[in-house]
Amino acid sequence: MFWPDTISKILEVKYPIIQAPMFGVSTPKMAAAAAKAGCLGSLALADLPAGKSAELIRETRKLTDQSFAVNIFVHDIPELTGSLREKFIKAKRFITDLAKENHIEVKLPDLEEIKLNSYHDQVEAIIEEGCKVLSFTFGNLDDKSIEKLKENRVTLIGTCTSLQEALVLEKSGIDIICVQGIEAGGHRGTFVADHIPEIGGISLFSQVYDYVKVPLIYAGGIYNGKTLRAAKELGAQGFQVGSMLLASQESALQPFEKERLENVTEKEIVLTKSFSGRYARGIKNKFIESIEDSGYIMPYPYQNKLTNELRRVAKTVNNAEFVSIWVGQSVHNYSRLSTEDILKKLILEAE
């Protein structure tokens, strides 16, 4: 039998392939389409308010009767000191001026207008909505949340980018660990925002496999049958794919963003904190180049909230220089087919 069945049985899916939760890209339709292919769809909830999280869960339920994962950010919120307030004002001014110079009129929020949400409220909503699989990134859940979720029979999938993080997750009772190599697109799952373990997927997975006993998912760089088979050879019992679904029919990316993907080269793909204040891998553009070494990058989530409106406005005018297009290192032909068809093709190639 080609497919390992440990994770398939736990997650109640035919194939142990997980559609990556990509906030701003993945949609309820994508999660439902992944489920149609016999894989695990993921609904990205990031740090949305509990009410909005519940609304999206219900929307996804209307599209599929299959199991799907919900994914949240479990980050710490930095204390708002006087110096941080000062930096915010300067960063806001810098970004506003930069946008104006590039013919983008945007009104960025004041600090007082920014609403920050704790993941604890989302945990309550996830339990209330009867979700049975929760994946998370940017850290680990607190003990009380883990206990409450386990009492409600929710399977927990944590994300690690180092062996140390994997050991922390295992020790706290997380059921499955997603091992994210440096090749992966989007945000790094690293626990400490300013630190970035730059470990390739093969090296990292091999270390984690030797020291950790819980089932492991490989994430980062999978884009065809060969790369999936390589992850299986390492001992992966699950396979998470994200970048290969970026241009799919169900992706929330706009046509101009999908076109930009089709023309991307390997030298244009960079790690940056410029849009969110946390390291993420994506396509270098004018905004990233302008702000990267400016000293005006706030810690997450303040930078993320500050640049949200800029990205929204840039999307309305098809300006690829001021949006975040997250993508992994494996440059390939980004298919415009449905998520279901892309995943079915991957399954056939792997087999």
CATH number of the CATH domain containing 153? 3.20.20.70
Same domain, 241 and 130: yes
Distance separating alpha carbons of residues 33 and 19, to the nearest angstrom:
10
Same domain, 109 and 121: no
At 293, the pLDDT band (50, 70, 90 cuts) reads confident
Same domain, 101 and 131: no
- pLDDT score at 27: 98
State pLDDT tens for residues 52-105: 999 999 999 999 999 999 999 999 888 888 899 999 999 999 999 999 999 999
pLDDT over 90 (residue 12): yes
State pLDDT tens for residues 135-145: 999 999 999 99
pLDDT over 90 (residue 48): yes
Same domain, 302 and 173: no
Distance separating alpha carbons of residues 96 and 258, to the nearest angstrom:
26
Same domain, 25 and 123: yes
Same domain, 318 and 348: no
Same domain, 145 and 238: yes
- pLDDT score at 79: 86
State pLDDT tens for residues 105-156: 999 999 999 999 889 999 999 999 999 999 999 999 999 999 999 999 999 9
Same domain, 185 and 265: no
- pLDDT score at 172: 98
Same domain, 110 and 120: no
Per DSSP bridges, beta strands 68-73 and 133-137 are: parallel
Same domain, 109 and 223: no
Distance separating alpha carbons of residues 171 and 47, to the nearest angstrom:
25
Total domains in the fold of the chain: 2
Same domain, 196 and 138: yes
The two structure tokens encoding residue 148: 């409450």
Residues of the domain holding 5: 1-77+116-249+333-351
Same domain, 89 and 185: no
State pLDDT tens for residues 240-291: 999 999 999 999 999 999 999 999 999 999 999 999 999 999 999 999 999 9
Report the predicted TM-score, pTM, of the whole model to 2 decimal places.
Answer: 0.97
Distance separating alpha carbons of residues 242 and 202, to the nearest angstrom:
18
pLDDT over 90 (residue 1): no
In the sheet with 17-19, reading across from the earlier edge strand, the strands are 17-19, 238-241, 216-219, 176-180, 155-160, 133-137, 68-73, 41-46
